[in-house]
Amino acid sequence: MKDGAHITTIKGLSADGALHPLQQAFIDHDAFQCGYCTPGQICSAAGLLAEGKAKTADEIRELMSGNICRCGDGRNGEQIMINFEYARARDVADAVRQISADPAATFIAGGTNLIDLMKYDVARPMRLIDITHLALKTVEETANGGRRIGALVPNSDLAYHPVVEKRYPLLSSAILAGASQQLRNLASTGGNLMQRTLLLFL
């Protein structure tokens, strides 16, 4: 690393509250990867554009063709392919209907736990039902003064929520003590409660 060199992180790509076009495209196309590879891929692509080495999507693809996520590309050199169907739930009722109709299906939200389970062959869902667009991302006050936390509230948002930090500091601290910032940015509250943690250590 050169002394005095300027480093742009994934957060530095956004400007004036707006995401970089590459960040937005990643979200628009549901380009799921882990919390480590995602920033690296986006920053690499942005670097190629900034340096003038690539001017089109095809050129970016060509130059980054070997720069893939290594977290689950195979075991003992063997490539693993898990086939599954994908569907996006329109609303909560649709999500319930889809999961009830297919016992081999499972929900995917942040994907930080499920993808690990799939990589290690612990879970093999035949169908993934995407619930990331459902209206379950708010922290609301209840009639008795408590808080109702939506299942899709990201762990980071919950940990840094002003009411949670003030009234439930232990909850905030517990969330921040787990995983990495990248994973907390994606992991959902509901998924965190439902994760099959112990299976990862078998």
95 and 128 within one domain: yes
Residue 78 lies in a domain: no
> If you average pLDDT over residues 45-72, what whole number do you get?
74
Cα–chain-centroid distance for residue 98?
A: 22
Residue whose C-alpha is closest to residue 27's, from 14, 15, 8, 9: 14
Residue 117 lies in a domain: yes
Residue 71 lies in a domain: no
148 and 117 within one domain: no
Q: Given this model, what pLDDT does residue 38 score?
A: 78
Domain span at residue 102 reads 85-134
Q: In 70-194, which ranges are continuous DSSP H helix?
A: 92-101, 114-119, 155-159, 162-167, 169-176, 181-186, 189-194
Residue 181 lies in a domain: yes
Q: What is the mean pLDDT of the chain?
A: 83
Residue 33 lies in a domain: yes
CA separation for the pair 121, 80 (Å, rounded): 10
149 and 124 within one domain: no
Rounded to the nearest 5 degrees, what angle is found at the Cα of 149, between the Cα atoms of 147 and 154?
140
pLDDT in tens, 64-116: 765 555 555 444 545 556 678 999 999 999 999 999 999 899 999 988 888 87
pLDDT in tens, 148-176: 999 999 999 999 999 999 999 999 999 99
173 and 144 within one domain: yes
Structure-block tokens of residue 19: 């995401």
pLDDT in tens, 31-48: 766 666 778 888 888 888
pLDDT of 198 > 50? The answer is no
The proportion of the chain whose per-residue pLDDT surpasses 70, expressed as a percent, equals 84
59 and 17 within one domain: yes
Q: Given this model, what pLDDT does residue 188 score?
A: 94
pLDDT of 199 > 60? The answer is no
Q: Given this model, what pLDDT does residue 171 score?
A: 95
Find the length of the chain: 202
CATH code of the domain in which 52 resides:
1.10.150.120
Q: Given this model, what pLDDT does residue 166 score?
A: 96
Written as one letter, the residue type at 149 is I
Residue 32 lies in a domain: yes
pTM of the model: 0.60
Say how many domains are in the chain.
Answer: 3
Burial of 193 per CB tally in 10 Å (0-12, 13-18, 19+) = exposed
Question: pLDDT band for position 147 (50/70/90)?
Answer: very high
Residue whose C-alpha is closest to residue 130's, from 94, 186, 86, 91: 86
